[in-house]
Amino acid sequence: MKFLKRNYGWIIVVILGALPLIPLLKIGIEEGENSAEMLYHISGEFAIRWMTAVLTLTPFYILFGIANLYVRQAMGIVTSVWSFIHFALFIWIEGFLETFTQVNYVLGLLAIMILIPLFFTSSRKAMRLLKRKWKKLQRFAYAAIVLSLLHVFLLDKAWLIYAIVVGLSFIIRLPVVKEYCIALRSKK
């Protein structure tokens, strides 16, 4: 019971992150090769959705004063897992060398390369070991989202909503806006 009470946020995030895998695996098994291409598009959508959600947590805290760092870490891990699934499916269908044929694929590869160290340092133990360097390393998530948005934009997919949400979250993080929001929140 103590484990559940301490880790309920992680458990909820992992369940929410894993639920879409069930129908995706069913599609992949039942429909064969044609569905594999659809699967890597869907996995890319979930990767960008989770990345956008993770980056909105700090603005959510700024606006409403609600924070849970460990849930953010779980969401970051789910983001990385979806991104790795997306990249693995892409390589399986298109081949690794295809990654270097278009700028948008290279941008996606760079985003994945950024997510790898973030994934492996998204634990409480890594936070303790890296101390202040951990936060500096995790800031590379901003570069990963920008690269991911460019990747999606160049693929001509539905990217505008993600760009707007991420753009607003960056604006809310600006010191002047942040201080104003916190001051406004504390007056209530």
pLDDT tens figures, 30-70: 555 567 777 888 888 899 999 999 988 888 888 888 766 56
Q: Give 92's contacts (C-beta < 8 A, 6+ positions apart).
A: 36
**What's the pLDDT at 19?**
78
How many Cβ atoms from other residues are within 10 Å of residue 139's Cβ? 10
Question: Per mean pLDDT, which range of 65-74, 153-162, 166-175 is the poorest?
Answer: 65-74
Average pLDDT over every residue of 153-173: 87
- Domain positions in the chain: 2-187
pLDDT confidence of residue 171: 93
How high is the pLDDT of residue 2? 66
pLDDT at 153 over 60: yes
Indicate whether 8 pLDDT > 60: yes
Q: What pLDDT is stored for residue 6 in this prediction?
A: 66
Query: For residue 161, how many C-alpha atoms fall within 13 Å in the half-sphere facing its CB?
Result: 7
- Read off the pTM: 0.84
- Residue 29: pLDDT over 60: no
Q: How many CB atoms lie within 10 A of CB 86?
A: 22
Alpha-carbon span 12 to 7, nearest angstrom: 9
CA distance between the termini of the chain:
36
* Residue in this structure with the two tokens 């990654």, named with its chain if needed: 99
54-57 CB contacts, 8 Å cutoff, 24+ apart: 54/79, 54/141, 55/141, 55/142, 55/145, 55/166, 55/169, 56/165, 56/169
- Evaluate if residue 27 carries a pLDDT over 80: no
The per-residue pLDDT for range 75-130, each reduced to its tens digit, is 888 999 999 999 998 998 889 999 999 999 999 999 999 999 999 998 888 888 98
Confidence of residue 22 (pLDDT cuts 50, 70, 90): confident
Confidence class for position 183, pLDDT limits 50, 70, 90: confident
pLDDT for residue 123? 80
What is the 3-state secondary structure of the chain?
Answer: CHHHHHHHHHHHHHHHHHCCHHHHHHHHHHHCHHHHHHHHHHHHHHHHHHHHHHHCHHHHHHHHCCCCHHHHHHHHHHHHHHHHHHHHHHHHHHCHHHHHCCHHHHHHHHHHHHHHHHHHCCCHHHHHHHCHHHHHHHCHHHHHHHHHHHHHHHCCCCCHHHHHHHHHHHHHHCHHHHHHHHHHHHHC
Q: What pLDDT, on the 0 to 100 scale, is given for residue 28? A: 56
